Amino acid sequence: MTQKKIIVIVFFLVYCVVTTMGQSLKYYNADDFPLIGKMSDDTEGRYARLPLSCKEKSKKWVWVLGQDTPGLAIRFATNSTMIAAKWTAKRDNNMSHMAMVGVKGLDLYVLKNGEWRYVRCARPKGKKNEGVIISNMKGEMNEYMLYLPLYDGIETLEIGVEENALIRQPQVESPVTERPVVCYGTSITQGGCATRPGMAYTNILSRMLNREVVNLGFSGYGHLEYEIAELMTHRNPSVIVMDFIPNVSASMLNERIEEFMNIIEDKIPGVQILFIEHVPFPLAEFDLKKGKWVEESNAALRNVFQELKKKGYRNLHYLKSEHLLGEDGESTVDGEHFTDLGFYRFAKGICPVVKKLMRQAER
């Protein structure tokens, strides 16, 4: 390489650095902006799902996962041409079958013509993270939603905009936060294994419905925990989606379901409750043990559902799962946990049912 070429390259790099430095950023504490996706504010830190009342009641890992932030999102508005973020992950979690953006990254959406459109993600580097999410925008005032990590928590979060730009509270209530939908379940409900936070099915469903959807998914659990049933009764939800069956045996289901339901019925009698079958994982087609588990789980769920209706529980609904993931076997990462395609198909499949139940609840 000639000396002249080296000088040109160095000049170009210096120009890029100076240009970037000229776009001064000012950071604002995200604590000052609305946070959606929580059932209670009585938590250990702002960015947590489970209230302090669960700390002594919940199993260790239910509590730990309850400090993760799936379904949580910050709402704000700005006219900045550039948006950045600084955040500290709580656990600095890593997973071999899930993209790090989904595990502990952020995901930015903008409201355009009444619909939420994806902008770009914020890529994590470790426990402490900082970076520009998007730049070179028009500089018009827009409403934004910043989804938080699916399989990690947040200790601190700041939103960066240009120094002279405006950043303010959102002016549009989207999603609508009154009478949220609550989704209770397993690792899939929590968001495993979406490539980015916005692609968890609870977040997709929220955008489809324009309604706040609370994520109460707990990886490896969803064991009909009674303290979670009590938490579900907060905020007068319109619909409760019960997507727990992949992690619950027939014996556990029979032992715990009636008390679980009694807790809900005692606080919010008549709430619309949708039970969803165990989806037919592609793995279950080849792993005979897994296939038997899916069949037995669904048989147990059907039996329990019918028994609950006979005992007088109201507004119970049942959704079969055979077509929720499509027919091509391409909807999972590992034969079980969903890809973005799987999450989209699942959300699209359940959305019309949930929408109908919302209308019934709000008559």
Domain ranges across the chain: 26-168, 176-361
Assigned token pair, 247: 């992690």
The pLDDT mean for the chain works out to 94
Q: In which band, very low, low, confident or very high, does the pLDDT at 5 lie, cut at 50, 70 and 90?
A: low
| The CATH number of the domain covering residues in 26-168 | 2.60.120.260
Environment class of residue 302 by beta-carbon count within 10 Å: exposed (0-12), middle (13-18) or buried (19+)?
A: middle
* 29 DSSP β-pair partners: 158
- Strand order of the β-sheet with 128-134 is 25-29, 154-162, 83-89, 128-134
pLDDT single digits (tens) 163-180: 999 999 999 999 999 999
Answering whether pTM is above 0.95, one says no
pLDDT single digits (tens) 329-339: 999 999 999 99
Q: In which band, very low, low, confident or very high, does the pLDDT at 1 lie, cut at 50, 70 and 90?
A: low
Is residue 345 within 8 Å of residue 325, measured between CB atoms?
yes
9 pLDDT higher than 50: no
User: To which H or E segment does residue 272 belong?
Assistant: strand 272-276
Number of H-type helices and E-type strands within the chain: 9, 15
CATH of 176-361, one of 3.40.50.1110, 3.30.60.50, 3.40.50.700, 3.20.20.140: 3.40.50.1110
How crowded is residue 305: how many other Cβ atoms within 10 Å of its Cβ? 19
Task: Write the DSSP symbol of residue 198.
Answer: G
Q: What pLDDT, on the 0 to 100 scale, is given for residue 83?
A: 98
Within 8 A by CB and 6+ apart from 290, the residues are 281, 283, 284
pLDDT single digits (tens) 54-104: 999 999 999 999 999 999 999 999 999 999 999 999 999 999 999 999 999
8 pLDDT higher than 70: no
Q: What is the mean pLDDT of residues 21-44?
A: 92
265 pLDDT higher than 60: yes
* Angle subtended at Cα 299 by Cα 296 and Cα 303, rounded to the nearest 5 degrees: 140
pLDDT single digits (tens) 200-250: 999 999 999 999 999 999 999 999 999 999 999 999 999 999 999 999 999
State the DSSP string of 122-175.
E---SSEEEEEEE-S-----EEEEEEPPSSS-EEEEEEEEETTS-EE--SS--S
